[in-house]
Amino acid sequence: MTLSPELIVLCGGLSSEREVSLRSGLAVSSVLPGARLVELETDALPDWLDGSRHVVLPILHGGWGEDGRAQAEMEARGIAFAGCSSSANRLCMDKVATKAAMRAAGVPAIPEVAFAGAAKPTAAALVAALGEQIVIKPSDQGSSVGLYMLDGPAEVAKALAEIPASGRWMAERRLRGREMSIGLLDGRPMGLVEIVALTGVYDYKTKYTKGASEYRFPAPVGPALTAAISAAAARLFAACGCRDFARADVFLEPDGQFYFLEINTMPGMTETSLMPKSASCVGLDFPALVRRMAAPALSRFTQPVRR
């Protein structure tokens, strides 16, 4: 068996987050000497990928690359890869299932109303359940795709009318306060990053537009509260069966109560991304972070059973 596998960085695919994946993949591959960057034009693994010669670092955002299907293909073909398993990716891509795992692990999560696009609730029902300030978003997409920030029954009704009669959605009470994120490496929390969206809403455009947000890292939060958020993030990582790396998003309200929103198994790795900022808080620069992200897969390559 080859003892020095070739490291393949996979990016692209056909999801709505393709462009971010391409940017992340290029950034990651540029700091991994000897790695080969592969830009996928379809949602399928290349036929030539060989578990006896290759190790994969997937940088695939959304859809097939993040919902467990790509990972299931690699598992079936015996290809060692970095990041979470297919089952953990599948769970974490489903925000409703993730919140159930949060609650089981004692991680604070706000109530939600889940619904199918073909069976939408009325605006009155959502307002009665959650209040007048509501967030509606797909329950199985990432990167703030399809996000609605709503205030009052009229805006809620308008948003519901726009939502297609397909897909799965969820509504939550709109939180007010400070939006934050924390990266995890090998299950251990790194630094807490505060996000200040200059537009007031951290949506897809703001997230990936340089200069549209300010970031504070480490976030100016007291040590006791930082420790509590970090401990909850670690519990969430374990409860979802994650491995290697992930990023958890959390909201801190003015009274000090925090709520986790989701855990992202395929964090962005662009110049505006949160994972590198979190890593910098614990002394890891971008190349060191990327090497640490890839290392477990290289170790798994030498094991008799690859996952």
CATH of the domain at 136: 3.30.1490.20
Q: Which pLDDT band, with edges at 50, 70 and 90, does 140 fall under?
A: confident
In CATH, what number is assigned to the domain containing residue 274? Answer: 3.30.470.20
Which of 152, 173, 194 marks a domain boundary? Answer: 173
C-alpha dihedral sign at 3, 25, 271, 98: negative
Mean pLDDT of 180-206: 83
The Cα–Cα gap between 98 and 68 comes to 14
Q: Which pLDDT band, with edges at 50, 70 and 90, does 144 fall under?
A: low
Distance of CA 155 to the CA centre of its chain: 28
Check: pTM over 0.85? Answer yes or no. Answer: yes
Where are the strands (E) in 186-225, listed by range? 188-197, 213-216
Question: In sequence order, which residues have a C-beta less than 8 Å from that of residue 163 and are 6 or more positions away?
Answer: 117, 120, 136, 169
How many other C-beta atoms can be found within 10 angstroms of the C-beta atom of residue 299?
Answer: 11
> What pLDDT score does 4 carry?
86
Cβ burial of 69 (10 Å; 0-12, 13-18, 19+) is: middle
Do the Cβ atoms of 261 and 249 come closer than 8 Å?
yes
In CATH, what number is assigned to the domain containing residue 22? Answer: 3.40.50.20
Mean pLDDT of 191-202: 79
Report yes or no on 307 lying in a domain: no
**Residue 44 DSSP SS3:** coil
The Cα–Cα gap between 121 and 157 comes to 10
Q: Is the same domain home to 197 and 104?
A: yes
Q: Is the same domain home to 185 and 226?
A: yes
Q: Is the same domain home to 183 and 296?
A: no
Q: Which pLDDT band, with edges at 50, 70 and 90, does 306 fall under?
A: very low
Query: For 236-245, how does the pLDDT look when each residue is reduced to its tens digit (9 = 90+)?
Result: 999 999 999 9
Do the Cβ atoms of 246 and 117 come closer than 8 Å?
no
Q: Comparing 34-43, 135-144, 211-220, 227-236, which segment has the lowest mean pLDDT?
A: 135-144
Do the Cβ atoms of 41 and 62 come closer than 8 Å?
no
Q: Is the same domain home to 196 and 215?
A: yes
Domain span at 74: 6-83+290-301
Q: Is the same domain home to 184 and 258?
A: yes
> What pLDDT score does 2 carry?
47
Backbone angles phi, psi at 90, to 5 degrees: -60, -45
Rg (CA), the chain: 19
Average of per-residue pLDDT values in the chain: 91
Q: Is residue 43 over pLDDT 90?
A: yes
| Structure tokens belonging to residue 130 | 């959650």
| Structure tokens belonging to residue 70 | 């790509």
Backbone region of residue 98 per phi and psi (left: phi > 0; alpha: psi in -120 to 50; beta: other values) = alpha
Give residue for tokens 């994120």.
181
Query: For 81-101, how does the pLDDT look when each residue is reduced to its tens digit (9 = 90+)?
Result: 999 999 999 999 999 999 999
> What pLDDT score does 270 carry?
85
Backbone angles phi, psi at 242, to 5 degrees: -75, 160
The Cα–Cα gap between 107 and 141 comes to 21
The Cα–Cα gap between 41 and 59 comes to 14
Query: What's the structural domain count of the chain?
Result: 3
Q: Is residue 248 over pLDDT 80?
A: yes
> What pLDDT score does 81 carry?
97
**Residue 143 DSSP SS3:** coil
The Cα–Cα gap between 139 and 101 comes to 15
Q: Is the same domain home to 21 and 166?
A: no
The Cα–Cα gap between 44 and 21 comes to 15
**Residue 193 DSSP SS3:** strand
